[in-house]
Structure 1
Amino acid sequence: MSIKLPFLKFKDKQIPDKKRIEQQNIPEHVAIIMDGNGRWANKRGLPRVAGHKEGVGAVQKVVRAADKLHISALTLFAFSTENWQRSKTEVDFLMRMPKQFFHKYLPELMERNVRVETVGNFEQLPDHTKKAVWNAVEKTKDNDGLLLNFALNYGGRLDIMQAAKKMAEDIKKDELSIADVDESVFGSYLYTNGMSEPDLLIRTSGEKRISNFMLWQCAYSEFWFTEVFWPDFDEEVFMQAIQAYQQRKRRFGSV
């Protein structure tokens, strides 16, 4: 029988009895495609960057909720390899967001014992972006609570491709035998080496695709889609996703 968590408070409101969360069935790793910032802004007659700015608050709401549920890892798709195609104004704004986010929320992340990591082609990012992220990574490296993982300049195909290249190089240098290559070995070459695969993948804004995100890692993830735009995503919607996950039976190919 599943043990129920005590009431969890979100926005100073208690979750109704029927919405309690099963303690024994919490996803270890939740990944989120944070979509709909631009459409949120357009509906309000605002520039697209206003949606991105508003979305920063949603990030911290989800971090707080994940921390309260004792989720081990939370991966947020912050900037894809395809996002460089957007306007320079929007890209420049997105590249400044890590500095703004950590300036405001790093003290709380430290207080919550959150450890910050990042995956993706980090070297292509502007210096000021790398500096802000690495500062957060360095300051939180000894924390052992929630892993907050930002996917920056990340693409699933790029991840697989760079892993294949690195593995081929090691085989060429006789540091790896082809006979020893299996899924575990290949996974160790991915950006996410050392991380568990996502149990639950959430996408906001009503779109129902994964848009080149963690193609290898999400092979057996449960998907949950919501019409809610990312700036409006909060603890209550996050709880709905967790509850939906807990109602499913994961078979991993078995019957």
Structure 2
Amino acid sequence: MRPKYFLYIFALQLISPASSVPLTSAQNGTPTGTRLFPGDSFISTLIGNHVPSFATSIPLSGVSAETQKNLSLFRTATLTLNKSHLTDFLDNSRGFLYPVFERKRCQLGKDTDRVVPFYTSNALGAYFENIFHMIPAWTNNEISLSRFDLFHGHLFANPITKAVGVVFHSKEYPAQNDDTFPFNLGFCQINSDTVFSERTMRKRNLIWVIDAADRTSLWWIDMAIQTGNSAIDSILGGEPFYTLYESNFGHVIADFYFLKNLELGASLY
């Protein structure tokens, strides 16, 4: 087997939006009890009282009392690890096919035929859409909303902290370049206009978190920082892809997908 093939498979495993391995409990709705995850300290640091050295706090817009209530209910439902509790927030009557590209050879998600939008009445779809829309401005346009850059996030539940979060991955399919990014990421990389650079790739991940007190925060992570805390540093790093793995932070519950001119949708595990 050719070395380039190994390189291709390795790159896809590191950068693929469908790379998470959700726990069985999240699939069948049967909680397995509290367990430790490698990123527990990472999440505890984010929801603490001090801004960590590896993250930049991004201010979130205020929301209505009704939306805040629904965010709280959504956090509680996610922590149960029971899919039936989450489906109460999703409008299955409006499920849609998420687009595929390159003559159907590029599928951006794990199961794009099972993407379901939120009920408009709970305003959660609009809430997360707003985060997607605002990330480019918040990051000084280092991140853009496109199928090559930012188009998805991964919902997780952390039982230790009782926090729920979404890991946003940008720079998903940088253009292949023999000098700077010699990785073939498959059909979804074709015609990519996302240019690789070390400076932007190390900051390709963001995390939205709602903690046990229902406080929300958004963090722009610098994966190249070393803090001296082994529990934190084991989550960071990973050059040149710098992928922040949501499975380190808890039970992986769902994927969020969003592209321009499309409604945000969720795909449950």
Looking at secondary structure, tell me which structure has more helix per residue.
1
Q: Which has the larger radius of gyration?
A: 1
TM-score, normalised to structure 2, is 0.24
